[in-house]
Amino acid sequence: MDIGCKYGSHRVLEPKGVLPQPALRLDNDMSRVYDNEILVDVIALNIDSASFTQIEAEAGGDEGRIRAKILEIVSQRGKMQNPVTGSGGMFIGTVARVGAALQDRGLKPGDRIASLVSLSLTPLRIDAILKIHQEIDRVEIKGQAILFESGLYAKLPADMDEGLALAALDVAGAPAQAAKLVKPGDSVLILGAGGKSGMLVAYESMKRAGPTGRVVGNVYLPQDKATLESLDLCHEIVVADATRPVDFLQAALAANGGREYDVVFNCVNVANTELSTILPTRDLGVVYFFSMATNFAKAALGAEGVGKDVTMIVGNGYTRGHAEITLAELRENPKLRKLFEQHYA
């Protein structure tokens, strides 16, 4: 058998000896598929929100320049990893081949799947970009990708449109972490509560905090406040700029009766919101940085500088059961599902 490294190091071209995520360049030659790899015909990429926002800003919103930048990144790196943010996204596609060593996975050619590992570590070849949906960070393509033996994926559910499932699974790590971190009676603050991950985190937090807890959502735009209010996802919504930490702190505390929060989630897609996440958190509270726009050096040194003893969790997009938890949320909440279908599918 032709077996590669379980974690994909055999696909690393530069620098040798590292794993695929930090690598600068991967081998995206799909003519040779190892026996412990899965080859997928990709139909769409959901690019990480921080990454797409950066590319869009660099391109001045011009679709042609966005297209060219995506193709340039994949051509140079053999994967879709934004060189500025370091982040990727995920894909949906149809299984083309399952390696001989992975035949016990219950996966077969023709199955529709979503990747649950980042594009920043996934060998990818783009033959053509068919359409770009700037409003939802989605790119329809013709191309192929490789999932390694350790790679996570989910079969697309039969009761959901594939676009809806892609939108939800793209941010599955965030609400699943909320299910783990939020306890009955907790006060919870969500920065970026108007986005996909923020809304799912808010819904899960309301469930977990229960009748004695309090969930406060933050949005930047007033129209996002109206959307959240219509969905009943928070007890209160604060319109404030999270890049201005002192002003933000005052607004966030006012929404919680002057008290600091037990758990704070950062779900924004812009830089320089680290201290707005840390400052409203009580000592020994928990901060979860789902945003890949986070500068973790700023977060660590910033917390030290303001004397905050808080537990800070890096936004690992995976936690056990995350796909099932996230899809269940859409099944449980018809209003939230309808909004996702209208805006993200």
331-345 in b/e burial notation, b at 16+ Cβ within 10 A? eebeebbebbeeebb
Both 229 and 201 in one domain: the answer is: yes
Q: Could you tell me if 189 and 256 are in contact, meaning their C-beta atoms sit under 8 angstroms apart? A: yes
Give the Cα separation of 121 and 20 in Å (integer): 5
Residue 163 falls within a domain, yes or no?
Answer: no
Residue 247 falls within a domain, yes or no?
Answer: yes
Of 156, 185, 208, the one marking the end of a domain is 156
Residue 303 falls within a domain, yes or no?
Answer: yes
Domain containing residue 186: CATH number: 3.40.50.720
Both 103 and 28 in one domain: the answer is: yes
Residue 152 falls within a domain, yes or no?
Answer: yes
227 phi and psi angles, rounded to 5 deg = -65, -50
Both 189 and 294 in one domain: the answer is: yes
**Stated pTM of the model:** 0.85
Domain range for 321 is 173-343
Of 127, 156, 185, the one marking the end of a domain is 156
Q: Could you tell me if 165 and 171 are in contact, meaning their C-beta atoms sit under 8 angstroms apart? A: no
CA angle, residues 127, 90, 221, in degrees to nearest 5 = 115
Max intra-chain CA distance, the chain:
64
Q: Is 112's pLDDT higher than 90?
A: yes
- With 0-12 / 13-18 / 19 or more C-beta atoms within 10 angstroms meaning exposed / middle / buried, residue 270 is middle
Both 17 and 150 in one domain: the answer is: yes
Rounded to the nearest integer, the mean pLDDT of the chain is 95
CA angle, residues 126, 80, 29, in degrees to nearest 5 = 50
Residues ≥6 apart with Cβ < 8 Å to 104: none
Of 109, 127, 156, the one marking the end of a domain is 156
Query: How many domains in the chain?
Result: 2
Residue 166 falls within a domain, yes or no?
Answer: no
Both 266 and 151 in one domain: the answer is: no
Residue 291 falls within a domain, yes or no?
Answer: yes
Both 211 and 247 in one domain: the answer is: yes
Both 199 and 126 in one domain: the answer is: no
Both 284 and 216 in one domain: the answer is: yes
Residue 311 falls within a domain, yes or no?
Answer: yes
Both 191 and 310 in one domain: the answer is: yes
- With 0-12 / 13-18 / 19 or more C-beta atoms within 10 angstroms meaning exposed / middle / buried, residue 217 is buried
pLDDT at 167: 87
pLDDT at 101: 96
One-letter amino acid at 69 equals: K
Give the Cα separation of 297 and 318 in Å (integer): 22
Both 212 and 184 in one domain: the answer is: yes
pLDDT at 163: 87
pLDDT at 1: 63
Read off the pLDDT of residues 195-207 as tens digits, 9 standing for 90 and up.
Answer: 999 999 999 999 9
What does the pLDDT average to over 114-141? Answer: 96
Both 146 and 13 in one domain: the answer is: yes
304 phi and psi angles, rounded to 5 deg = -60, -45
Q: Is 319's pLDDT higher than 90?
A: no
Helices (H), the chain: 49-58, 63-77, 162-169, 173-181, 196-209, 222-231, 245-254, 274-278, 296-305, 322-332, 334-343
Both 89 and 211 in one domain: the answer is: no
| Between residues 345 and 190, the one the model is more confident about | 190
121 phi and psi angles, rounded to 5 deg = -130, 10
Residue 168 falls within a domain, yes or no?
Answer: no
Read off the pLDDT of residues 257-297 as tens digits, 9 standing for 90 and up.
Answer: 999 999 999 999 889 999 999 999 999 999 999 988 899 99
Provide the pLDDT confidence category of residue 212 given band limits of 50, 70 and 90: very high
